[in-house]
Each structure stands twice: as structure tokens, then as C-alpha cells.
């Protein structure tokens, strides 16, 4: 279920539901495969997955069509709203969202919409619903000729233009002047869409990455019919891949794709230098996507609503790469300089990394001494004697080293825990605290740090 937010829609998690839990995922199947996959090396793909992010795209497009067809004076608004769909590369914009739009538009009321065009850069498939024919066009000239002919015959249509891997942006004159809607599907690379979107005043739809439960549902479908233990083994593999490279379906469902992505990620991490650190924080939103950059492998785009419009920010693609990137930044930048970069950040990266930076501050003597003198200690329950804060009495016992703790399921050997080391668990549901360290005092003391301002710290018992 969805709720209207300005000119957009968002999933309504608070909507009351009765009976069985709603489905996490839908699967749409075509015996002959979908146009996007007809030339795939492994042959046409028959199934694609629909999660709430994919369905949300159709809900917005459908709302635009309904609004336009309800407009009795079409001269005031001669065409449905133009749309621009942007999402992190590899999450299924083309395969899932593009194919899902095609499916619904082909089933749309033929009295209102007679033509659907699905373009992939130079190539296109033109579906004439009235004649029940499909015309395959090998270049833009042929596509424009077919589309113009159908428009001159008085037909209404809708174009799904998928910017190809080579980055072939649509021409501003590609779409007929009236009676036709259009959506461009693209990665965040600005040159793919910028000129077209400005000229046609296209409104954005930002597609978030799938979450863990979406990915788990996908892996279950892929292994349907096999033994339960084999399903569990496959999901464990996919979950491990997702932990290291993020929830990108294109890279996590098989070892070959995962290994290739890992190589790209390692290169991206090694490519970070003092200059790229400054670039990473000083430019936000679209700016880092104006050119090809290895750092794109380390981030995902996240939807934000602003003044009834959708925009995107960059965020670490997963916890593991967030921590790896943060540690790399710290090795390249002085403490105070890094703080200045954080404060100057124009992106959602700022609050995410600021929590890490605040934890890292406990390894700095000046910070610990200043903080220890201003501690406000909580009163213990009645009948229990108050004890002085050990860090306040011995600030020099603060941790001197910062280390990340990879989840035990991904550790290759047993880790020895030492005094004076600030340990930061690289999971989001570690019980109660965000980091901890041991002080070599009498008695030995564990100091836990919780930096979050959330009302709860979610965790799952194993």
C-alpha cells in the first residue's frame, strides 16, 4: 500500500492489514522472455522480480496517466508528465522496472493508449496494440520514423527509453509533440539525461536499492524446488556477498559476478587519495556523478523528498564498505582536517561518517580529557553505592587504537581482544552499544559507547 506525498508516492508501512502478511516480492513471467534480455549471453530471461520500489515506479506513472486522461481540455496539458527514473547501477532499473512498466502499459486501456515503445539506446521495439504487431528498429532514425507515423495516425503512446551502457542520451525531439508520455531510465551519471530532463522539464523518480528481505525472497525463488538445506546454503552465500559489496542484485547471486565486483571495489578503495577525499565530501548529490569515478562502486543513491520533488543523496553502499572507506579516509587525512571536511559536506555522507568520527575521537587524549571533566553521571538505583567513572579517574587509560570488528560469520580466525583498543562492530544490530573498549584497571572495566540518538537500538538474539 502507498500514500501520496506531494506529487510522489511512498510505501505506507503503517497501513492496517488483516489476515496473512502481504507478499514481499512478485514475479512476472514471459515464456518468450523480455525485450531487455533478448540479446543476453545466457539467452532471454523469463522472470523478473517486483519489490515495492519497482511497483512504486508504476504507481507514479499510472497516476500521471490517470491525471492526464482525466483532463478534458488536453490543450492545457497536451502530453502526460515526462519522467526520469534514476537508481544505483545494478539494482534492476532496466530489467525489473523497465519490463514492469512495459507489462502494465501493454495491458493499459487500448482506447486510451494504443502504442508502447521500449528503447535501449539505438535499438527499440514498437508495440502497436491495435494491430497486435511489434516492430524492431535497429537505430534512432528508424524508431523516429515509425513513431512519427503512428502519431500522425492519431495514436497515443508511451515511450520507455533505457539509456544503454554506452550512455546514449535521448534527443529532446525524440518524443512526439502531443499525446505521448515518456520515461527515461538511467544510472545517476548526469550526462545520460541532464539535457533531456531540463528541456522537457521531466520530474524524477528515485529508486532505492532492495533491502535484505527483498534479496532473500529473490534467492528463495531462484532456488525453488531444491532441498531446504541447499536453499539455506545459497542464501548464506548471497548474504555474504551482500555484506561485502552491497544489495546489488547484478553482483551477488553468483560467484563470478561477485568476484568481479570485489576487484572493482578493491580498486576503488586503493584509488582514494587526499584529493579524492576532499572531492568526496565537498560535492554532494549529483556532482560526483558528472564523470566516471571508481568511488561510484562504494556508494549507493538514496531517495529524499524535498518540496514535493524527489532528489538523491549518496550513502555508503553497505556497512563493510562504509567502515573500510572511513578508515582509508582517516589514514590519509589529519584529525582536524577530516573534521573540517565532514562539516563542509553537502551530502547524507556527513551524518553517517560523523558517528564514526565521534567514536574515533575517544582515541584522542585531548578529547577524552576535555570530555571526562564534563561527564554527567547517572544516579544508580536506590541502595546501590555510586562508583566514580573509571575514565574520569584515569583518562590516560582511554583507547589508543581503533579497530573494526567484522561479524564472526565472516572472520577467518579467532581475534584476540586487547586492552586500549576501541572496537567498532561492523554490524548495525550489535547489542546495546556502537563501540567498546577494555581498560586495564582493577577491576578490569568494559566501557561501552552508544552514539545514536535513536529511541531504540535494535538487535536480534542468536
Three cell numbers written together for 106? 501493454
Q: What is the CA radius of gyration of the chain?
A: 26
What fold is seen in the domain 2-13+21-207?
Rossmann fold (3.40.50)
Residue 1 has pLDDT above 60, yes or no: no
CB contact at 8 A, 432 and 340: no
Q: Which has the closest alpha carbon to 82: 191, 194, 195, 183?
A: 183
CB contact at 8 A, 414 and 406: no
Q: Which residues of 360-384 are buried (b: 16+ CB within 10 A; e: fewer)?
A: bbbbeeebbeebeeeeeeeeeeeee
pLDDT at 3: 62
Neighbour tally for 237: CB within 10 Å: 16
CA-to-CA dists, residue 107 to 30, 52, 55, 98, 354, angstroms: 14, 20, 15, 15, 49
3-state secondary structure 390-450: HHHHCHHHCCCEEEEECCHHHCCCCCCCCCCEEEEECCCCCCCCCEEEEECCCCCEEEEEC
pLDDT at 51: 93
Q: Which has the closest alpha carbon to 100: 178, 155, 47?
A: 47
pLDDT in tens, 92-120: 888 899 999 999 999 999 999 999 999 98
Domain ranges of the chain: 2-13+21-207, 212-360, 378-449
Residue 308 has pLDDT above 80, yes or no: no
pLDDT at 237: 96
Highest mean pLDDT among 91-95, 129-133, 290-294: 129-133
Sequence-ordered list of residues with C-beta below 8 angstroms from that of 284, at least 6 positions apart, any chain: 313, 314, 345, 346, 347, 348, 349
CA-to-CA dists, residue 337 to 193, 315, 400, 402, angstroms: 35, 21, 19, 18
Q: With the C-alpha atoms ordered 426, 430, 434, 438, is the resulting torsion angle positive or negative?
A: negative
pLDDT in tens, 222-240: 999 999 999 999 999 999 9
Q: Which residue has the higher pLDDT, 164 or 305?
A: 305
Q: What angle do CA 377, 379, 370 make, to 5 degrees?
A: 5
pLDDT range class, residue 344, cuts 50, 70, 90: low
pLDDT at 166: 66
How far does Cα 58 stand from its chain's mean position? 18
Q: How far, in Å, CA of 357 to CA of 59, rounded?
A: 40
pLDDT range class, residue 391, cuts 50, 70, 90: confident
Average pLDDT over residues 342-356: 67
pLDDT at 159: 95
pLDDT range class, residue 462, cuts 50, 70, 90: very low
Residue 364 has pLDDT above 80, yes or no: yes
- Portion of the chain with pLDDT greater than 70, in percent: 84
pLDDT in tens, 34-54: 888 877 767 788 888 999 999
Residue 203 has pLDDT above 50, yes or no: yes
Highest mean pLDDT among 140-144, 251-255, 286-290: 251-255
Residue 81 has pLDDT above 70, yes or no: yes
- pTM here is 0.81
Amino acid at each position: 500500500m502507498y500514500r501520496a506525498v506531494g506529487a510522489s508516492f511512498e510505501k505506507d508501512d503503517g497501513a492496517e492489514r488483516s489476515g496473512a502478511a502481504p507478499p514481499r516480492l512478485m514475479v512476472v513471467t514471459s515464456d518468450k522472455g523480455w525485450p531487455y534480455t533478448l540479446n543476453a549471453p545466457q539467452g532471454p530471461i523469463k522472470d523478473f522480480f517486483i519489490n515495492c520500489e519497482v511497483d512504486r515506479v508504476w504507481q507514479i506513472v499510472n497516476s500521471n496517466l490517470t491525471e492526464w486522461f482525466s483532463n478534458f481540455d488536453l490543450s492545457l496539458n497536451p502530453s502526460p508528465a515526462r519522467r526520469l527514473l534514476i537508481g544505483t547501477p545494478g539494482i534492476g532499473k532496466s530489467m525489473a522496472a523497465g519490463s514492469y512498466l512495459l507489462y502494465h502499459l501493454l495491458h493499459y486501456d487500448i482506447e486510451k493508449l494504443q502504442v508502447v515503445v521500449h528503447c535501449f539506446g539505438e535499438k527499440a521495439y514498437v508495440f502497436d496494440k491495435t494491430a497486435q504487431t511489434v516492430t524492431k528498429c535497429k537505430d534512432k532514425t528508424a524508431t523516429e520514423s515509425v513513431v512519427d507515423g503512428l502519431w500522425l495516425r492519431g495514436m497515443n503512446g508511451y515511450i520507455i527509453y533505457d539509456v544503454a551502457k554506452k550512455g546514449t542520451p535521448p534527443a529532446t525531439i525524440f518524443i512526439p509533440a502531443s499525446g505521448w508520455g515518456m520515461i527515461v531510465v538511467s544510472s545517476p551519471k548526469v550526462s545520460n539525461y541532464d539535457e533531456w530532463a531540463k528541456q522537457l522539464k521531466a520530474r524524477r523518480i528515485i529508486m532505492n536499492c532492495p533491502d535484505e528481505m527483498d534479496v532473500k525472497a529473490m534467492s528463495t525463488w531462484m532456488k525453488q524446488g531444491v532441498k531446504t538445506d541447499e536453499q539455506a546454503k545459497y542464501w548464506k552465500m548471497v548474504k555474504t556477498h551482500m555484506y561485502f559489496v552491497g544489495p546489488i542484485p547484478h553482483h551477488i547471486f553468483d560467484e563470478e559476478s561477485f568476484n568481479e565486483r570485489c576487484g572493482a571495489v578493491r580498486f576503488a578503495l586503493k584509488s582514494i587519495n587526499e584529493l579524492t577525499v576532499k572531492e568526496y565530501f565537498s560535492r554532494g548529490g549529483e556532482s560526483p556523478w558528472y564523470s566516471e569515478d571508481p568511488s561510484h562502486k562504494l556508494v549507493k543513491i538514496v531517495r529524499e523528498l524535498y518540496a514535493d520533488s524527489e532528489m538523491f543523496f549518496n550513502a555508503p553502499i553497505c556497512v563493510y564498505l562504509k567502515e573500510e572507506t572511513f578508515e582509508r579516509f582517516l589514514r590519509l587525512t589529519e584529525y582536524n582536517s577530516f573534521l573540517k571536511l565532514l562539516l563542509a559536506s553537502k551530502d547524507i555522507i556527513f551524518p553517517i561518517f560523523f558517528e564514526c568520527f565521534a567514536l574515533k575521537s575517544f582515541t584522542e587524549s585531548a578529547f577524552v580529557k576535555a570530555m571526562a571533566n564534563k561527564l554527567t553521571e547517572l544516579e544508580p538505583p536506590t541502595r546501590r553505592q555510586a562508583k566514580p567513572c573509571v575514565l574520569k579517574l584515569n583518562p590516560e587509560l582511554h583507547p589508543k587504537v581503533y579497530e573494526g570488528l567484522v561479524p564472526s560469520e565472516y572472520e577467518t580466525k579467532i581475534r584476540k581482544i586487547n586492552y586500549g583498543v576501541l572496537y567498532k562492530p561492523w554490524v548495525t544490530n550489535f547489542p546495546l552499544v556502537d563501540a567498546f573498549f577494555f581498560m586495564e584497571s582493577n577491576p578490569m572495566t568494559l566501557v561501552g559507547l552508544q552514539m545514536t540518538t535513536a529511541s531504540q537500538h535494535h538487535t536480534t538474539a542468536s
